[in-house]
């Protein structure tokens, strides 16, 4: 990928480094040589003076007695001094008494080049000068010693340089491998080794920039019910599934295509030219087909895929991402396990959702939401619980159904604010009822898993409950089965924190979602609410009856109380009573009531009147 090029070092930079190092070495060697030359020169002169002094001291007697033979013999000792080329002993009158000459090495170029040093020494006898010794020495030894020194110093330096360069090269290789690894990690997902969201975004930007000449397609892939796999089979099984998805995606990629893991269970595939709608949908169909068929003992996994094309549907990365995402949600809405090509209708519904989100934001700012309370009754017909249900009346839209605005609040993150503001409404309504002398039963508040993902949001909820005095004697929580709560056993999970404070929990809409018996056990809730899908008309439907009977049996065995939702007729209620259902909620008993109407019902109850199913 492009960003990997950033790792390459400019070659010119390294060459310059080598030249600078060599120049520094050269300068250093030169300085060393100059210093060494000075030293050699000094030592040469000292040696010559010592040798001269020894000869002069020995020669004093020979000069005194004018013994030329003895003098010549003394001078011949200079044979062992290789630098001395000539020596002459003169007597006091300046007449040469003896002479020594050596031709050793004279022909050598160094002798010619190095020049000579002349030394004259007085010869003394009893402190009187009796003659003179003249020495002529070749300066060649200074230079040959210097050359030898420079040679060995350069050899040592070269060896050190070589060693240093080997070590540096190794070090550099290690550092650059580490750099490459870090860079790779920064742009890839460690679990699947696919490019991550940031990296994919770069590729998408690039594809969008050239999409007019080179069409491209974005496949937005979301695993169906992945949380259930994690929950029922553990995180290791979940990881294996994610890795397999990555392998299957890679297999669909041609060299010009890019597969990426965007987040948890979200993947994306960018198909580049040559490409048309047929190829994009063919790849999407192949993925939908192939992923549920694992080899060996792996878990089957279903996916929902949204497909958007560039430039047909969008010509920039943000829009194509949004459209593919919207198409994916449409695929989910249509029953999951399939793919959906983006269409104008999907775009329009997305725009409508965005408009709804905008209006909801305004409504929340103006505290425009309120609560309706649907009573729950026991077998005696006593109202022993209420469910708080959000209500939003919009000036132009009229009464907006929670099914519409709750999902928008969840996907936009507004659910946190919405829930906190409804807790304020609840606290105010309860105060109003209490000032009327009424004793409201415990109120069930619907809790969305989306509002509990961030620690800050969990803290905000707990803080609001405390501040508004909504303790466990006044409030319990319903967890919708469709949005399963993850990590129900983690110590800081919402579920655990609420239970630690004594709040009772109910599993909502049981039978329509994904909860397993294992989840039921782990959640340790107090109530289970059977979805109205199974309740409505059960008295005349033997299959529903059987299902409801089994659910009640399991729930009771686990020590849970059972609430039947959507009780609309007396026949269903009677059947539920026969099956030993504990609590009943439905339009047949009472519709969700505004707080004024609720006060009326609680007032009647206080007078001992019992509710009867009207239909
Ligand atoms: P739910 O929690 O299952 O609430 C029960 C829903 O069933 C309510 O719909 C209620 O009006 C409806 N219902 C009760 N009895 C009957 C019946 O006999 N027949 C029929 N056809 N329907 C009946 P509503 O108020 O439209 O709420 C829909 C869903 O929106 C709720 O389902 C809940 O999941 C969600 N919701 C509502 N208020 C809140 C809230 O404050 N926070 C959160 N997170 N979700 C909420
Ligand atoms: Mg509910
Ligand atoms: Mg429900």
The atom number, within ligand 1, closest to the CA of 509 reads 3
Q: What contacts 24+ positions apart, CB below 8 Å, involve 166-171?
A: none
CB 342 within 8 A of CB 307: yes
CB 566 less than 6 A from any atom of ligand 1: yes
pLDDT > 70 fraction of the chain, expressed in percent and rounded: 94
What does the pLDDT read at residue 27?
87
What does the pLDDT read at residue 4?
41
List phi, psi (to 5°) of 397.
-75, -20
The atom number, within ligand 1, closest to the CA of 389 reads 38
What average pLDDT does range 237-266 have in this prediction?
A: 94
| Least distant ligand from the CA of 444 | 2
CB 389 less than 6 A from any atom of ligand 1: yes
- Which range, of 123-132, 157-166, 383-392, averages the lowest pLDDT? 157-166
Going from the Cα of 389 to the center of ligand 1, the distance in angstroms, rounded, reads 6
Counted residue by residue, the chain has a size of 615
What does the pLDDT read at residue 357?
96
**Per-residue pLDDT reduced to its tens digit, 461-490:** 999 999 999 999 999 999 976 556 666 677
What does the pLDDT read at residue 158?
81
pTM: 0.64
Query: In the predicted model, is pLDDT for residue 506 greater than 70?
Result: yes
Bridge partners, 443 (sequence order):
386, 475
What does the pLDDT read at residue 229?
85
Going from the Cα of 134 to the center of ligand 2, the distance in angstroms, rounded, reads 123
Q: How far is CA 376 from CA 295, 380, 553, 567, in A?
A: 49, 11, 20, 10
Q: How far apart are CA 317 and CA 310, in angstroms?
A: 9
CB 328 less than 6 A from any atom of ligand 1: no
Query: In the predicted model, is pLDDT for residue 178 greater than 70?
Result: yes
Going from the Cα of 471 to the center of ligand 2, the distance in angstroms, rounded, reads 19
Going from the Cα of 517 to the center of ligand 1, the distance in angstroms, rounded, reads 24
CB 376 less than 6 A from any atom of ligand 1: no
Query: In the predicted model, is pLDDT for residue 10 greater than 60?
Result: no
CB 68 less than 6 A from any atom of ligand 1: no
Q: How far is CA 580 from CA 4, 9, 88, 553, 576, in A?
A: 67, 77, 140, 9, 6
* Residue minimizing CA distance to atom 17 of ligand 1: 566
CB 208 less than 6 A from any atom of ligand 1: no
Going from the Cα of 59 to the center of ligand 2, the distance in angstroms, rounded, reads 128
What does the pLDDT read at residue 613?
44
Nearest to 326 by CA among 295, 301, 349, 303: 349
Of 370, 403, 414, 446, which is best to mutate to test ligand 1, by the most ligand atoms within 8 angstroms of its C-beta?
446
Give the burial string for 194-229 (b: 16+ CB within 10 Å, else e).
Answer: bbbeebbbbbbebbbeebeeebbbbbbbbbbbbbbb
The atom number, within ligand 1, closest to the CA of 531 reads 3
Of 371, 389, 392, 416, which is best to mutate to test ligand 1, by the most ligand atoms within 8 angstroms of its C-beta?
389
CB 537 less than 6 A from any atom of ligand 1: no
Q: How far apart are CA 424 and CA 370, in angstroms?
A: 10
The atom number, within ligand 1, closest to the CA of 567 reads 18
* Residue minimizing CA distance to atom 41 of ligand 1: 390
CB 52 less than 6 A from any atom of ligand 1: no
The atom number, within ligand 1, closest to the CA of 371 reads 41
Going from the Cα of 354 to the center of ligand 1, the distance in angstroms, rounded, reads 23
What does the pLDDT read at residue 12?
55
Is residue 7 very low, low, confident or very high in pLDDT (cuts 50, 70, 90)? very low
What average pLDDT does range 414-423 have in this prediction?
A: 97
CB 587 less than 6 A from any atom of ligand 1: yes
Going from the Cα of 40 to the center of ligand 1, the distance in angstroms, rounded, reads 104
Q: How far apart are CA 282 and CA 269, in angstroms?
A: 13
Tokens of 186: 């920064």
**Per-residue pLDDT reduced to its tens digit, 309-320:** 999 999 999 999
**Per-residue pLDDT reduced to its tens digit, 202-216:** 999 999 999 999 999
Query: In the predicted model, is pLDDT for residue 606 greater than 90?
Result: no
- Which range, of 418-427, 479-488, 498-507, averages the lowest pLDDT? 479-488
What does the pLDDT read at residue 3?
42
- Which range, of 141-150, 269-278, 410-419, averages the lowest pLDDT? 141-150
CB 480 less than 6 A from any atom of ligand 1: yes
* Residue minimizing CA distance to atom 4 of ligand 1: 389
CB 446 less than 6 A from any atom of ligand 1: yes
Largest CA distance in the chain: 161
CB 387 within 8 A of CB 443: yes
Going from the Cα of 508 to the center of ligand 2, the distance in angstroms, rounded, reads 5
What does the pLDDT read at residue 314?
94
Going from the Cα of 445 to the center of ligand 2, the distance in angstroms, rounded, reads 7
Query: In the predicted model, is pLDDT for residue 608 greater than 80?
Result: no
| Least distant ligand from the CA of 404 | 1
Is residue 6 very low, low, confident or very high in pLDDT (cuts 50, 70, 90)? very low
**Between 610 and 156, the higher pLDDT residue:** 156
What average pLDDT does range 540-544 have in this prediction?
A: 94
Is residue 515 very low, low, confident or very high in pLDDT (cuts 50, 70, 90)? low
Q: Can you state the percent helix, strand and coil of the chain, rounding each to 5?
A: 55, 20, 25
What does the pLDDT read at residue 26?
82
Give the burial string for 321-349 (b: 16+ CB within 10 Å, else e).
Answer: bbbbbbbbbbbbeeeebbbbbbeeebbee
CB 406 less than 6 A from any atom of ligand 1: yes
CB 568 less than 6 A from any atom of ligand 1: yes
Is residue 521 very low, low, confident or very high in pLDDT (cuts 50, 70, 90)? confident
575: CB partners within 8 A, 6+ apart: 538, 539, 545
What average pLDDT does range 346-367 have in this prediction?
A: 94
Q: Identify residues whose C-beta is under 5 A from ligand 3, the ion.
A: 508-509, 565
- Which range, of 1-5, 43-47, 270-274, 417-421, averages the lowest pLDDT? 1-5
Query: In the predicted model, is pLDDT for residue 8 greater than 70?
Result: no
Average pLDDT, whole number, for the chain?
90
What does the pLDDT read at residue 13?
65
CB 450 less than 6 A from any atom of ligand 1: no
What does the pLDDT read at residue 256?
94
Look-up of token digits 């700012």: 365
DSSP state of 273: S
**Per-residue pLDDT reduced to its tens digit, 82-140:** 889 899 999 988 899 999 998 776 767 877 788 889 999 999 988 889 999 999 999 98
Nearest to 552 by CA among 539, 542, 561: 561
Quick one: 261 exposed, middle or buried, by C-beta within 10 A (0-12, 13-18, 19+)? buried
What does the pLDDT read at residue 29?
81
Q: How far apart are CA 611 and CA 563, in angstroms?
A: 16
Going from the Cα of 447 to the center of ligand 2, the distance in angstroms, rounded, reads 8
């Amino acid at each position: 990928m492009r960003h990997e090029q950033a790792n390459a070092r400019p070659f010119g930079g390294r060459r310059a480094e080598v030249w600078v190092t060599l120049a520094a070495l050269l300068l250093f060697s030169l300085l060393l040589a100059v210093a060494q030359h000075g030293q050699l020169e000094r030592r040469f002169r000292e040696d010559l003076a010592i040798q001269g002094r020894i000869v002069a001291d020995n020669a004093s007697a020979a000069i005194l007695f004018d013994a030329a033979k003895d003098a010549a013999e003394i001078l011949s000792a200079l044979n062992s001094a290789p630098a001395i080329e000539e020596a002459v002993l003169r007597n006091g009158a300046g007449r040469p008494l003896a002479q020594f000459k050596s031709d050793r090495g004279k022909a050598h170029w160094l002798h010619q080049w190095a020049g000579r040093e002349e030394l004259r020494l007085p010869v003394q006898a009893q402190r009187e000068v009796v003659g003179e010794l003249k020495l002529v020495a070749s300066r060649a030894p200074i230079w040959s010693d210097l050359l030898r020194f420079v040679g060995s110093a350069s050899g040592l330096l070269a060896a050190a340089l070589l060693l240093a360069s080997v070590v540096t090269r190794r070090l550099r290789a290690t550092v650059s491998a580490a750099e490459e690894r870090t860079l790779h990690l920064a742009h890839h997902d460690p679990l699947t080794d696919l490019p991550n969201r940031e990296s994919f975004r770069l590729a998408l930007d690039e594809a969008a920039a050239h999409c007019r000449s080179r069409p491209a397609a974005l496949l937005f892939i979301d695993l169906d019910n992945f949380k259930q796999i994690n929950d029922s089979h553990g995180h290791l099984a979940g990881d294996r599934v994610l890795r397999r998805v990555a392998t299957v995606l890679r297999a669909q990629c041609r060299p010009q295509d890019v597969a990426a893991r965007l987040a948890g269970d979200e993947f994306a595939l960018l198909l580049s030219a040559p490409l048309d709608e047929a190829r994009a949908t063919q790849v999407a169909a192949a993925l939908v087909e192939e992923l549920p068929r694992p080899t060996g003992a792996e878990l089957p996994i279903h996916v929902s895929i949204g497909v958007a094309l560039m430039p047909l549907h969008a010509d920039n990365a943000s829009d194509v991402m949004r459209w593919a995402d919207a198409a994916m949600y449409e695929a989910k809405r249509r029953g999951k396990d399939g793919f959906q090509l983006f269409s104008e209708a999907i775009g329009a519904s997305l725009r409508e959702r965005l408009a709804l989100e905008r209006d909801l934001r305004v409504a929340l700012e103006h505290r425009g939401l309120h609560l309706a309370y649907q009573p729950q009754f026991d077998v005696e017909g006593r109202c022993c619980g209420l469910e708080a249900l959000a209500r939003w009346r919009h000036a132009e839209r009229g009464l907006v159904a929670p099914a519409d605005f709750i999902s928008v609040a969840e996907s936009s993150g507004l659910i946190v604010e919405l829930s906190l503001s409804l807790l304020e409404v609840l606290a105010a309504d309860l105060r109003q009822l209490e000032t009327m002398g009424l004793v409201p039963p415990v109120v069930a508040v619907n809790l969305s898993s989306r509002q509990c993902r961030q620690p800050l949001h969990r803290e905000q909820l707990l803080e609001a409950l405390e501040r508004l005095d909504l303790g466990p004697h006044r409030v319990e929580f319903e967890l919708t089965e469709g949005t399963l709560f993850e990590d129900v056993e983690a110590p800081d999970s919402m579920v655990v924190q609420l239970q630690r404070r004594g709040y009772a929990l109910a599993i909502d809409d049981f039978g329509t979602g994904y909860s397993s018996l294992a989840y039921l056990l782990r959640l340790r809730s107090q109530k289970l609410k059977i979805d109205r899908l199974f309740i409505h008309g059960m008295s005349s439907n033997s299959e529903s009856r059987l299902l409801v009977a089994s659910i009640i049996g399991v729930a009771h065995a686990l020590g849970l109380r059972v609430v039947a939702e959507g009780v609309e007729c007396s026949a269903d209620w009677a059947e539920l009573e026969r099956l030993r259902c504990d609590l009943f909620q439905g339009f047949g008993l009472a519709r969700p009531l505004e707080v004024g109407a609720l006060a009326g019902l609680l007032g009647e109850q206080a007078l001992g009147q019992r509710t009867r199913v009207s239909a």
